[in-house]
Chains A and B, each alone.
Chain A
Amino acid sequence: MKNYITVIGLEVHAELKTKTKAFCSCSTEFGAEPNTHVCPVCLGMPGALPVLNKRVVEFAIRAGLALNCDIQKFNKMDRKNYFYPDLAKNYQISQWDEPICLGGHIDIRVNGEKKRIGITRIHMEEDAGKLVHSGLTISTSDYSAVDYNRAGVPLIEIVSEPDMRSAAEARAYMEQLKAILEYTDVCDCKMQEGSLRCDANISVMPEGATEFGTRAEIKNLNSFRALERAIEYEVERQIEIVEDGGHVVQETRTWDDANGVTLSMRSKEEAHDYRYFPEPDLVPVNLDQAWIDEIKATLPELPSARKERLLAEDVPEDNADIIVASKKVADYFDAGTKATKNLKALSNWLIGDVAGFLNAEGIEIDNPEFRITPDHLGELVNLIDKGVLSSKLAKQVFAEMLKVNEAPEALVKKLGLEQVSDAGELGKLVDEVIAANPQSIADFKAGKKKALGFLVGQIMKATHGKANPGMVNKMLMEKLQ
């Protein structure tokens, strides 16, 4: 088999966190009863006229600036015509040839390698309604029920250059993009709820080829995991076709998460003749540089800058990447730095035990079920640094902290876990252990270093793990030499 190069570009739809829809004043609140946030505009009634939400333009500019794009001063909306009941108008208002943002980029890091992924464009458009099918799948349904609450909710579509070469790179890009959209507060980025959605254009070409292979577009990628798995599957599928002497068909495919496969959506060719034309019901928007500058001045510290700050504070790069990927986690970390100076240890706890708990529970760090405050985590780090707790005992305290919202210092007392660092007390134990284990002493003196570990273990056992292991080690060595 030849070596193949995978070429991936992503199209990401992000629902904007506005209070109202893009072209009417209906609420965008998620989870309302079907067809309760609707009006003549989003129901496509004849004669109803759309008016663009100023916030939509502001958020698109904000996202564009954070993604290093050039903001285009002249903006117009276009009609994308298609017949599908998810939009009552039979067209979607979008931007075709004059998108609001052009030419940005995102920097990613995969296995320690840095790479810049280009962003082709960002445009504004409206979301479509939701179809609930009567059967389990669309093909087994007799009919569908449409809910137009989501119809007209503003979106930005962020189109990348075909710069990614692996599923891991696509995932890293998506994670970075999500972080930036979260930091800039333009999207709530809930992939499961559909407020952040991803389609992937995937093709393969033999190594050394100068032209990209034919691409397939994969839809329905509702998690980072789905994105990675779908790419891996699709790449394998396409390579197999090419190896068998066939041709990849340019088509839209859907990701079937349960079965781990991509399936052809068998679209009719004509379905993609959208006949775009300028939206006559909306007037153009000329952006004022002063407004753009004003938005630029309110941009928060972005993940890349935050990461640099963490690196300067001795946080390992792998830890920093994980922490800044989520604004909530990064904010938690920042709050914790007020309680401890040992940021490396704090970051280790955060991406280790804390992340382990959150993943197991399937909750986010700001969920009240996670009871450890940033202060308390910082204090726990300090207790280890001061020698009050061994790292082993710290895990016990941590486990207790997950159950009750109390300061670690109080819990150490409550659980009776203070580390024994008293030289007199430890000296007595050391003598006892030496007296009780003549064979081990002999072994140690004969050069069996392992015997020392056994002796330390005996003392730890006698103190229920509370003896200061560093001191025990040192005292034993002194006595034995």
Chain B
Amino acid sequence: MKVTEKDVKYIAALSRLEISEAEMPKFTEQFNQILNYADILQKVDTTGIEPTFSILPLYNVLREDVPQEGVAHEDALKNAPAVHNDGFKVPRVIE
């Protein structure tokens, strides 16, 4: 087992996910399954092949610097859980 429950807890915390103690073994196992599969891929000889950053056969998709209307202020705030002074009201967050 490469990934331990401690790793899973850490990653869950970074992702703001709650994983119960009961679910822990299942997630830990699945994490390891994923990594084991990656290990198989690691065995492929990739000498001389550049890393693939994008699987699309596309480059240089760029946009001209011309402003366009976005969404209306009221519509934007419809997605806010709460509104204060025209802003998205969020709980105090200390980084």
- Which residues of chain A have a CB within 8 Å of any CB of chain B? 18-20, 24-27, 33-40, 42-43, 45, 51-55, 57, 76, 81, 83-85, 88, 131-134, 138-139, 141-148, 265-268, 270-271, 273, 275, 278, 280, 282-286
Contact = CB atoms under 8 A, between A and B. Distances in A.
Contacts of B44: none
Contacts of A37: 70
Interface stretch (B19-27, B31-39, B84-92): B84-92
Instruction: Give the residue among A26, A134, A284 with the most B Cβ atoms within 10 A.
Output: A284
Contacts of A35: 73, 76-77, 86-88
Interface size class of B (residues with CB under 8 A): 35 or more
A contact patch SS: loop
A134 to B, nearest CB: 7
B45 interface: no
A143 B89 contact: yes
B47 interface: no
Nearest to A272: B95
Interface of B: 10, 13-14, 16, 53-54, 56, 58-68, 70-71, 73, 76-77, 79, 84-95
B56 A19 contact: no
Given A34-B86, A138-B92, 14 more contacts: A20-B63, A24-B70, A35-B76, A39-B70, A55-B65, A76-B53, A85-B90, A132-B87, A134-B84, A141-B92, A144-B90, A145-B88, A148-B88, A282-B54
Contacts of A36: 73
A285 B62 contact: yes
A280 B55 CA distance: 9
Contacts of B64: 54-55
The 9 closest A-B pairs by CB, nearest first: A145-B87, A39-B70, A25-B68, A55-B65, A54-B62, A34-B86, A146-B88, A85-B90, A283-B58
